[in-house]
Structures are given as structure tokens and as C-alpha cells.
Amino acid sequence: MQTIILAGGRGTRISEESTIRPKPLVEIGGKPLLWHIMSIYASHGFKDFLVACGYKGEMIKEYFHNFQWHNSDYIVDLKDGSQRILNSGPIDWRVGVIDTGADTMTGGRLLELKKWMEAGPFLMTYGDGLGNVDITSLVAFHRSHGKLATVTAVHPPARFGDLVLKENSVTKFEEKAQTGEGWINGGFFVLEQEVLKYIRGKETSFEREPLEQLAAEGQLMAFRHTGFWQPVDTVRERELLESLWLAGNAPWKTWD
């Protein structure tokens, strides 16, 4: 089963980073968000990827083109320029990097990838959100209900932390990860090929007409994820994930 990652948006809310690189290449612990997302899927055995590029997509292409050299030891003969990799890394992913247009909407990006998709259902998520989603259980849930689409429903992260008070004294400040109330679209979809028929063209936002119509027809099911989930829309959110990674306490790290 292929995994599609939508990685073409402009990331305007994190412009401090996205002016110099596409948001999926923003780094957490020295690795791009894309690497973290793909590692989540790969840890469940899903290692065949299609990355839908757009804004600054050439940087994503360069990242994967040079991936092996950046993650292996090698020898370069400066006399003739020949190169030899000494030890290939453990990563055995297959990655297709496809330009789907700078201004194409999310649904349009899926449609642009149609000719590269294999037959059958596929996984899809956004290139800017991390979570300890059980992909194996997600796929099993999708197969069990027989509908066209499954979205992972998550609790939104809380905007503020909690102050623990004793009379007028603050005894503790706790960063609050998620609200525990309400459900939102957390990405991490499983979709049947028929879903592509709900997309009109490049201008279609997948989160609008296609998902709304699928829901109205009873073809959209929710996989409830109550664990960790965090988008990266601001510098503060990137710094939060960075601190968790550096402390060895990254909940989304589902691999060894």
C-alpha cells in the first residue's frame, strides 16, 4: 500500500522557516519533518511513498536525490571524481517525488498523482503533522468498515498551558498537549481509489467538497486517536517538538 504525503503548501504561518525551505523540510532534531512522518509509516511496514511537491519542491527533490550520500559513509576519488559508498544505511524506502504545481490545492495534488498510484487503497497524510498514530490499527479499521475513506480524528492541541495554583501562588506550570474536547481532522487517511472521483480538478481542496460529500453519503469513517498529535504551524510548535526530541521523549518516535 502506497503512502502519499502532501508536501506542496507554502507554510505562511511559519514564514520564519518557510521563506528559506518548504515546511516539510523544517527540521526536528536535525531531520526534516518528512523524515519523521515517513519513519512513522515505515515502522509499520509501509515504505512505498509518493511525495506531492509544490512550493520550493526542488529542495525536496534535492534532499532525496542526495539522501544516500548524506546518510552513508563513502570514498571520493578526487582524481577522477568516482564515488563509492562504504556502508548503506538501514533505510529501504522507495520514494517518488512528484511536482504537482505551486498553486494546486490539496485535492488537486492527489488527482495529479493518480497516474503514479498503484491499484487499490492508499494512505495519505499532510507533510506538517506528527503523531504516534497506530498505522497498523488504522488500516485494519479501514478494512473492517468497507467505506471509501477513513480520517484519523484527533483532539486539537491546547493553545495554553495550565497554571497550578495554591491560593495566589503558582506552584506548577504544565504544558498542555491536547484539549481532550472535540475532534478535528488529523490527517493520516486511508482512501480507496474511488475517492479520486470526488475531486474536480487542481482547484479542489480535499478538505471541502470531497470530504463533505463523502461524509454526506456515509462514506467517511473516523479512526479515533487519543494519543499524541501535533501540527507544525508556528515556530513555537517546532520548538516544542524539538525539545521533546532532544529530551528523548518524542511520543511520535514509534521506531527503534
**Residues with Cβ < 8 Å from 182, sequence gap 6 or more?**
155, 156
Q: What 3-state class would DSSP assign to 200?
A: coil
d(CA 96, CA 186): 23
Residues of the chain falling short of pLDDT 70: 11-18, 159-181
- Residue 216: phi and psi, rounded to 5, are -65, -30
Residue 13 pLDDT? 61
- Looking at every residue in the chain, the average pLDDT score rounds to 89
Q: Which CATH homologous superfamily contains domain 3-246? A: Spore Coat Polysaccharide Biosynthesis Protein SpsA; Chain A (3.90.550.10)
Q: What 3-state class would DSSP assign to 157?
A: coil
